[in-house]
A and B are shown apart, each in its own frame.
Chain A
Amino acid sequence: MKKNQVALYTVAIFYSILTLIPYVWSIYTSLKPTSEVFHMWTPLSKLSFSSYRYILGNFPFGRWLLNSMIVAVIVTIGNLIVNTLAGYAFARFKFPLRGVLFYVFLATMMIPGQVLLVPIYMLLANLGWINTYQGLTIPFLMSPFMIFLARQFFLGLPKELEEAAEVDGLGKWGTFFKIFLPLSRPLMATQVIFTFQGNWNAFLWPVLLTTGQHMYTLPVGLNSFYGQYNAYWNSVLAGVIMLTLPMILIFLIFQKQFVKGISTTGIK
């Protein structure tokens, strides 16, 4: 039994080292002077934040960070409103065509997003929305999968809630805002986490929909920066850390919700 446990710990620790080393190595390299980038061991005394200062001072990394923030926040708030309302409607109201409409939403989940690349690009081009914030946000404010999750969540709440609301003389909106919304924090947390993460890390759509450097989101900016300055690994990796660190911090703070979310989304 004891021997067994030692073996298990050894494997688990070995794999966590394998997972963490690329991060540690990236941070370490981003702090090195250019001449030391390919040296295994650089003394700590030679490390500094100069690469970070360099990329923030000479390249639009600050602007890209801001763009990423703006886009991710708008898309997350929009999704939260649109998906929660729709999920609530499907779960707690009866109306004609309810089943049909729900299946239409479900059916669209089967379609890979790449089918939309050409038509959405053309739509946005015709609107003059390529390379704008509205182009990067408005087409992405709804998620059928999140509507599905919201519906599941609201279906799980007892019928007595509506009856209690009626006794209190609450209308349809009052019932939703005063009774159901305060109860749906776990649902909100799951939605916020996954929508924000997806948007913060998104690459395919932003690389298609941004044409000017000043509109790049961080992943697009990092890719173009790497393409031009791939000899300066310390600066490139400083950019990598800038893109990675915010998401990791959010994850560490909300890791319980992340794990819960991934477990509930996993069990469809």
Chain B
Amino acid sequence: MGNRHKFFQRNTFDQAMAGYLFLLPALVALAVFLIGPIFYAFYISFFQFSFLDPGNAKFVGFSNYLHLFRDPEFLRALWNTSLYSICVVPIQTALALFLALIVNNIRGKTFFRVAYYLPTVTSTVAVSVIFIFIFEPAGILNQLLLHFGIHGPNYFNSPTFALPAIMAMAVWSSVGQFMIIYLAGLQDISEEIYEAAKLDGAKGWRLLWYITVPLLRRTTFLNIVMSMIGTFQVFDQVYVISGGTGGPLNATLSVVLDLFNKGFKTMQMGYASAMAFILFVIILLLTLIQNYFLGREE
């Protein structure tokens, strides 16, 4: 009996040691490159601080945060990013569901899945450059429009058309990813439910609207949240297309691009950190809203 007890004690200790050992590399990375930097970023968000002149750091309390909401550039970036998200998320989600329902009911699923998913594995920089070419004033799109007698604009150099063109690009490049998640969700719906509904006389559209769509609610929420988080962090496309300026006339300035320029062009690192935490709060709120809805369902 005593021996056994010793054995278990030993075993518990061994397990704990092994556990910490296996976890060690991840813990070091977590401390040095995640937790430490997060706290440091929070700390300097209360300072007027430039990396070039660390000796002159000045504690300013909440004034970075307060100043953000009086900063016309940041407000414009927030407006652009919100608009981008509000337009892209629903269109992307609806189109992904629509395509998933179609692909689920035809042969050649693999081909369509591969074709629709290609843009997701393509670098955002490559996608941006391809679309700049397509949207050139004399590019393929405007040449096609000319056949219908429409004179297309100079998309990315027009304050009106630049952001909508980037939205179209965003939908094109990530709809496939959300479609695949929907397809997985569709696979999880059991045939029995459909059989039961058919017995009750449900057909076609009614079946879709009253059975399929509600059963995919979880997937829909997941897609919407992932899409929201992604769209609020938009950077690559606007950086490449506007050459890092967010132009024309700040029409394509996004929150992360503004953060990037404030942090590393004008070197206002405290201010940029405050902006990063505002972004964090926005994304956190969006996630909490999602959890609230999902929680209510269960």
Does B211 belong to the interface (CB within 8 Å)? Answer: no
The reply to whether A12 and B276 form a contact with Cβ atoms under 8 Å apart is: no
Does A44 belong to the interface (CB within 8 Å)? Answer: no
Among B15, B19, B118, B264, point to the contact of A20 (Cβ < 8 A): B118
The reply to whether A204 and B236 form a contact with Cβ atoms under 8 Å apart is: yes
Tell me which residues across on chain A come within 8 A of B253, comparing CB atoms: none
Say yes or no: A86-B239 contact (C-beta < 8 A), given A40-B140, A115-B276, A116-B37: no
- Tell me the complex Cα distance, A8–B239, Å: 38
In the complex, how many angstroms separate the beta carbon of A4 from the nearest chain B beta carbon? 9
B-side interface mostly:
helix
The reply to whether B143 and A82 form a contact with Cβ atoms under 8 Å apart is: no
The reply to whether B99 and A15 form a contact with Cβ atoms under 8 Å apart is: yes
The reply to whether A266 and B181 form a contact with Cβ atoms under 8 Å apart is: yes
- Tell me the complex Cα distance, A230–B279, Å: 33
Q: For chain B, give the interface size range.
A: 35 or more
Tell me which residues across on chain A come within 8 A of B170, comparing CB atoms: none
The reply to whether A118 and B272 form a contact with Cβ atoms under 8 Å apart is: yes
Q: For chain A, give the interface size range.
A: 35 or more
The reply to whether A243 and B123 form a contact with Cβ atoms under 8 Å apart is: yes
Tell me which residues across on chain B come within 8 A of A144, comparing CB atoms: 30, 34
Does A103 belong to the interface (CB within 8 Å)? Answer: no
Does B12 belong to the interface (CB within 8 Å)? Answer: yes
Considering the complex, which residues of chain A in the window 216-252 have a beta carbon less than 8 Å from any beta carbon of chain B? 218-220, 222-223, 226-227, 230, 233, 236-237, 239-240, 243-244, 247-248, 250-252
The reply to whether A19 and B264 form a contact with Cβ atoms under 8 Å apart is: no
The reply to whether A85 and B105 form a contact with Cβ atoms under 8 Å apart is: no
Say yes or no: A112-B181 contact (C-beta < 8 A), given A40-B140, A117-B260, A142-B33: no
The reply to whether B51 and A125 form a contact with Cβ atoms under 8 Å apart is: yes
Residue of B nearest to A201 (CB): B123
Among B33, B41, B112, B118, point to the contact of A115 (Cβ < 8 A): B41
Mask, B156-174, CB within 8 Å of A = 1, is 0000000000000000100
Mask, B120-143, CB within 8 Å of A = 1, is 011111110111111010111001
Among B14, B23, B41, point to the contact of A119 (Cβ < 8 A): B41
Say yes or no: A40-B38 contact (C-beta < 8 A), given A86-B26, A244-B123: no
Among A9, A22, A101, A267, point to the contact of B106 (Cβ < 8 A): A9
Among A19, A95, A197, A268, point to the contact of B115 (Cβ < 8 A): A19
The reply to whether A5 and B26 form a contact with Cβ atoms under 8 Å apart is: no
Residue of A nearest to B204 (CB): A4
The reply to whether A262 and B277 form a contact with Cβ atoms under 8 Å apart is: no
In the complex, how many angstroms separate the beta carbon of A150 from the nearest chain B beta carbon? 10
Q: Which of A15, A96, A113, A222 gathers most chain B CB within 10 Å?
A: A15
Does B80 belong to the interface (CB within 8 Å)? Answer: no
Considering the complex, which residues of chain A in the window 167-216 have a beta carbon less than 8 Å from any beta carbon of chain B? 172, 176, 197, 200-201, 203-204, 207-208
Further pairs besides A118-B41, A208-B264: 6, Cβ < 8 Å: A19-B172, A22-B134, A117-B276, A119-B44, A204-B235, A251-B114
